[in-house]
Amino acid sequence: MELAMGAIGSVLPRLAELLKEEYKLQKGVKNDVESLSRELAAMHIALERVAKVPREMVELDVKLWASNVRELSYAIEDAIDAFVVRVAEGSNLVDPINQGFFKRILRKTSDLIRKGKARREIAEGICDIKELADEVAELRARYKFDAAAAATTPATATVDPRILALYKDITELVGIEEARDELIGMLSRPADDDQLNIVSVVGFGGLGKTTLAKVVYDKLRGQFDCAAFVSVGQNPDLKRVLTDMIYDLDRQRYISIHNSRMDERLLINELRDFVQNKRYIIIIDDIWDEKLWEYIKCAFYRNKLCSRIITTTRKVTVSKACCSHDDAIYRMKPLSDDASKRLFYKRIFKHDNGCPPELEQVSIGILKKCAGMPLAIITIASLLANKQVQTRDQWHDVFNSIGRGLTEEPKVEDMTKILSLSYYDLPCHLKTCLLYLSIFPEDFIISRDHLVRMWIAEGVVQKTTNQKDDVLVELGENYFYELINRSMIQPWDENDFMYYKDGYDNAIISCRVHDMVLDLILSLSNEENFVTILDQERGASSLSKAHRISLRDCNVVHTIPEATVPKVRFLSLLRADVHMTPAITIFPILRVLDLYNCHFEESYHLKHLGNLFHLRYLRLHCGCITKLPNEIGNLQFLQTLDVHRSRSIKELPPAIYQLRRLMFLYFPENISLSDRIGELTSLLELSPVDVFRRTSSIDVNGDSFSLLKALGNLTELRDLTIQVWSSEVSSIGRILGEVLCNLHKLRRLILRGVHGIVHLDSLPEFLDLPQHIHVLGIKPMYFFTVLPVWFNSPIDLPYLSFLDLSICDMRQEHVEKLGRLPALQVLWIQINRESEWLVIGAGAFPSLTDCTFIQYCGLVFQPGAMPKVRKLEFNINVVDSEDINFDVGLGNLASIEEVTIDLLCEDAVEWEVEEVENVLRHVADIHPKHPTLEMRRSDEDKMVLDDEEEQQSEDPMEDSDMEENRAPDSMASESS
């Protein structure tokens, strides 16, 4: 079912919090809370079972019960929040819920003034909540519901639509040739000593993994002694998989194998014995579980006869488990624009020659939304092909419906079932995380940090009682990466480092959702009342039960009466005119407020922001916001404050420093901080800090360092960027060292220099890098004469994964030291003096994937160097390259995919430059990975002429005279 658990996952730990001594609940109330917790825990388990069942297999009464549990969980959380706010503030706050089904839950806890009264009143509130929970439990008993009932198979069993991919006529396929040849090429590569080559095909549902595997299987099976193609699926029976495989390998011999009573162990032995002396090819399609693969692979006898296995999966981790190395993973690519058009038109018009001119523009729009997914293209084409008359209006209707509920069309049921398999495979907390993506419009680039901070604010990410807040960030990021691993979201953009990787962190920081997956998410979100969308076409028809509102791309007026939104806890405004929306004061229990690229009327302001006492997350990315109200200090539960794109804000109000629960603080770079920043001891991350913005002179014993010293109080800080005027950096080394000694959890340290170039050779005397540092960047304007002593022992920096430094004199021993860093993945080094050839030896840089050596440096790679590097940029001095026969050893880089080389042409002649270019092109052409190669010439104006060219340039008149002397002879011969 599409169930995402409501707030029940966050309510259980919140109830546990109420039992703590600080709230001093009466004994009877504690008993009620404990009883309520037990009942909710039982409901939680039941909901998890229901959530694993496809929605078409869940009875209506079970759906009703689940909906009631979800609404109950929201009401309980609202009641707990109201109580906690009253206890914390001790003030008269407006009761956030004043009508509706759960009115009596909070009615008796309104208008509280003193903490003692709040504690007395919560007893009655908890009693009312417990009565509601009992009603829901009785409802469950009345329906005689249990997990088994939820999973009852309907009378009409559904057929897996993916089976059609196994029986497609080869003539129906379009654009598969390139992928087929590439996969065959991977299978043809020499394997390890056992000669069993396993290649895994990975990609999200609908990309054509099964079709590709079947095409390759049909083309190659004649080259093998035996062959098998088996599908595994989400809930596999290992015995069935093994018997299917054995039967496929020899159908005559094993005609009765499905009636065999052999257990899994005997079947594995039978299979191993059969293939022991045979060359075989086996396709294992649609694997979902790594553990199952461990059993399946036991059946493959490694007989050194060059056998081949192809697996297909939607999960990256499963594909890695299937293969011995990353090179054996084939990542499915979307169809090209040309292939997409041919497939689309062929399905509609029975030819691929194009479409009528009046439909061409809308067809381009449809194909853009399909984004190269064959399943989507075929589905939409089939939908249009059934129209008796092809009109532009019909096509526009289909175009507009994609991403807005297309799944209601009967023709797309098969596509929905295929895509939804990945959704139902998610654990419950990831289902909830995924539904948050319904907030965003099509083609929106979604920030990882924005998403994770919202999950944390709404309690989707939970830590145990004894864990610190920084665990929430790691858990949330792991949820994000798991959605990528399961192919539910796509990293943006894999081909552009600056877009999909943090400039100082080798991690995916943005994603997008395929329009067809978004369509599924929107459908699920709508059924569960997860997010209510308001835009140009969808208005505020009924918001009484809305919990989350997303108002986006809107230039129409949406009137939302105050009485209609008692339960809204989440409000997102994307690219909307805020004067067309209601005032934020009508959302009193708001936990998340996100204003992105919105426009305000002059009369609209944020003075009431301080009344949103429940607010956890506040993002204001609007250029028209010029000031934050001082009342923001009332938001004592605020975790995230992000105004870094509101560049019209020139200062932060002093009340900011009252937000003691604040974990994330992002502001524009033009803002100066007070040394009171040290009071925000819960901070995990904050924007770059200019520690001397207002200082004109430096006094080591004065107040100039007070801000820098205050940072030492932020002991939970994970991320610190300090901006220092270059003339002052030599003065702060000791103080910076003292500050960093207190920051035991710091993982990312960036030092930025401004105005002038400064050598930092004295800095390591005062500054010891934390052993747990992951990211270190010291640029621009800062240089070390030689490599700092920090890198003398690689065991001192076991987690360093990103390094960005500028060094004047880079030597061979420096490269060798860096090459021993065990976790280094990204290396950016700028060298400011011409150096000798630097040799990268075997085993050096074992984890490096991205390497850039800028300016005066030449590299030579020995066999076994940089085994994982995919992207490489460096320089070659053409004049010196003759010493190594123009060969820098690119062929020794086993994983290389992209190479950029600057050819330093000073004092070189044309033929030398061309020789180097030809050698490098040849090496790239014959490399098994066929890396892209970009070569740029520098200092071409300083090239010299060779002897022959120089002779010609010195005596141009002589050449001219010779030409003139030849001319009469030539003319004479013509006339004769």
- With cut-offs at 50, 70 and 90, classify the pLDDT of residue 974: very low
Residue 730 has pLDDT above 90, yes or no: no
Q: Which of 885, 825, 769, 921 is nearest to 508 (CA)?
A: 825
Q: CA distances (Å), 532 to each of 69, 538, 618, in order?
A: 19, 9, 19
Q: Which of 891, 817, 811 is nearest to 857 (CA)?
A: 811
- With cut-offs at 50, 70 and 90, classify the pLDDT of residue 611: confident
Residue with tokens 């090819």: 281
pLDDT tens for residues 875-904? 888 887 776 666 788 999 999 999 999 998
Residue with tokens 């050819």: 903
Best mean pLDDT range from 71-80, 136-145, 384-393? 71-80
Sign (positive or negative) of CA dihedral 115, 120, 124, 127: positive
Out of 122-131, 554-563, 633-642, which region has the weakest mean confidence (pLDDT)?
Answer: 554-563
Q: Tell me the Ramachandran region of residue 531: left when phi exceeds 0, alpha when psi lies from -120 to 50, beta otherwise.
A: beta
Q: Is beta strand 510-512 parallel, antiparallel or unpaired with respect to 871-877? A: unpaired
Averaged pLDDT, 265-286 = 93
The answer as to CATH 1.10.10 being correct for domain 419-517 is yes
Query: Dihedrals φ, ψ of 198, to 5°?
Result: -115, 125
pLDDT tens for residues 468-483? 878 899 999 999 999 9
- With cut-offs at 50, 70 and 90, classify the pLDDT of residue 680: very high
Sign (positive or negative) of CA dihedral 805, 811, 814, 816: positive
The pLDDT value recorded for residue 233 is 86
Query: Hey, which bits of 44-196 come out as E strands?
Result: none
Long-range contacts of 579-585 (CB under 8 A, 24+ apart): 579/603, 579/604, 580/554, 580/555, 580/556, 581/551, 582/558, 583/608, 584/608, 584/609, 584/612, 585/611
Q: Which residues are within 8 A (CB) of 389 and not within 5 positions of it... i.e. 6 or more apart?
A: none
680 alpha-carbon distance from chain centroid: 29
Six-digit token string for 633: 């200090």
pLDDT tens for residues 639-654? 999 999 888 888 899 9
Averaged pLDDT, 549-564 = 66
Q: Which of 55, 125, 116 is nearest to 96 (CA)?
A: 125
Q: Tell me the Ramachandran region of residue 597: left when phi exceeds 0, alpha when psi lies from -120 to 50, beta otherwise.
A: left
The pLDDT value recorded for residue 771 is 83
Domain residue limits, the chain: 8-150, 176-331, 419-517, 531-671, 673-783, 790-944
* Percent of the chain as helix, strand, coil, to the nearest 5: 45, 15, 40
Residue with tokens 């009682």: 465
833 contacts 809 by C-beta, under 8 angstroms: yes
The pLDDT value recorded for residue 967 is 46
Residue 390 has pLDDT above 80, yes or no: no
Residue 678 has pLDDT above 60, yes or no: yes
Q: Which of 810, 817, 819, 867 is nearest to 838 (CA)?
A: 810
297 vs 67, more confident: 297
The pLDDT value recorded for residue 695 is 39
Averaged pLDDT, 291-314 = 90
The pLDDT value recorded for residue 100 is 43
Beta bridge partners of 623: none
Sign (positive or negative) of CA dihedral 459, 460, 466, 470: negative
100 contacts 566 by C-beta, under 8 angstroms: yes
The pLDDT value recorded for residue 794 is 84
Q: Which of 797, 784, 789 is nearest to 831 (CA)?
A: 784
Averaged pLDDT, 216-232 = 93
Out of 308-312, 460-464, 719-723, which region has the weakest mean confidence (pLDDT)?
Answer: 460-464
Averaged pLDDT, 135-152 = 56
531 contacts 550 by C-beta, under 8 angstroms: yes
Residue 848 has pLDDT above 60, yes or no: yes
Q: Which residues are within 8 A (CB) of 217 and not within 5 positions of it... i.e. 6 or more apart?
A: 227, 229, 281, 283, 310
Residue 157 has pLDDT above 90, yes or no: no
pLDDT tens for residues 912-938? 899 889 999 999 999 988 899 999 998
Averaged pLDDT, 149-160 = 46
205 contacts 419 by C-beta, under 8 angstroms: yes
837 contacts 883 by C-beta, under 8 angstroms: yes
947 vs 248, more confident: 248
The pLDDT value recorded for residue 285 is 94
The pLDDT value recorded for residue 946 is 72
Residue 511 has pLDDT above 60, yes or no: yes
Q: Is the pTM of this model over 0.75?
A: yes
Six-digit token string for 135: 């009603």
The pLDDT value recorded for residue 153 is 43
d(CA 606, CA 591): 16
Out of 108-117, 195-204, 239-248, 363-372, which region has the weakest mean confidence (pLDDT)?
Answer: 108-117
Beta bridge partners of 930: none
The pLDDT value recorded for residue 666 is 94
The pLDDT value recorded for residue 589 is 86
Averaged pLDDT, 282-286 = 94
Q: If residue 722 lies in a helix (H) or strand (E), which one and from where to where?
A: strand 719-725
Averaged pLDDT, 901-914 = 89
Averaged pLDDT, 218-227 = 93
35 vs 456, more confident: 456
Q: Which of 360, 353, 420, 419 is nearest to 57 (CA)?
A: 420
Q: Which residues are within 8 A (CB) of 813 and not within 5 positions of it... i.e. 6 or more apart?
A: none
- With cut-offs at 50, 70 and 90, classify the pLDDT of residue 43: confident
User: What value does the mean pLDDT of the chain take?
Assistant: 79
Out of 27-31, 223-227, 503-507, 732-736, which region has the weakest mean confidence (pLDDT)?
Answer: 503-507
Q: Is the peptide bond before 939 cis (omega within 30 degrees of 0)?
A: no
Best mean pLDDT range from 457-466, 508-517, 811-820? 811-820
Query: Hey, which bits of 349-433 come out as E strands?
Result: none
The pLDDT value recorded for residue 497 is 36
Residue 713 has pLDDT above 90, yes or no: yes
537 vs 810, more confident: 810
d(CA 366, CA 359): 11
Q: Is the peptide bond before 566 cis (omega within 30 degrees of 0)?
A: no
d(CA 756, CA 758): 6
Protein fold of 531-671: 3.80.10
The pLDDT value recorded for residue 252 is 92
Out of 120-129, 193-202, 594-603, 778-787, which region has the weakest mean confidence (pLDDT)?
Answer: 120-129
- With cut-offs at 50, 70 and 90, classify the pLDDT of residue 970: very low
Q: Is beta strand 871-877 parallel, antiparallel or unpaired with respect to 280-287? A: unpaired
Six-digit token string for 740: 């960093």
Averaged pLDDT, 124-136 = 68
Out of 54-58, 195-199, 208-212, which region has the weakest mean confidence (pLDDT)?
Answer: 54-58
265 vs 586, more confident: 265
Residue with tokens 């809370």: 33
d(CA 370, CA 377): 6
Q: Which CATH superfamily is domain 176-331 in?
A: P-loop containing nucleotide triphosphate hydrolases (3.40.50.300)
The pLDDT value recorded for residue 92 is 39
> pLDDT over 90 for what percent of the chain?
30
Best mean pLDDT range from 224-238, 505-519, 563-577? 224-238
Q: Which of 736, 793, 740 is nearest to 770 (CA)?
A: 740
The pLDDT value recorded for residue 704 is 58
Residue 862 has pLDDT above 60, yes or no: yes
d(CA 394, CA 410): 16
The pLDDT value recorded for residue 463 is 80
pLDDT tens for residues 69-116? 777 777 777 777 777 776 665 443 434 444 443 444 444 444 443 455
d(CA 444, CA 442): 5
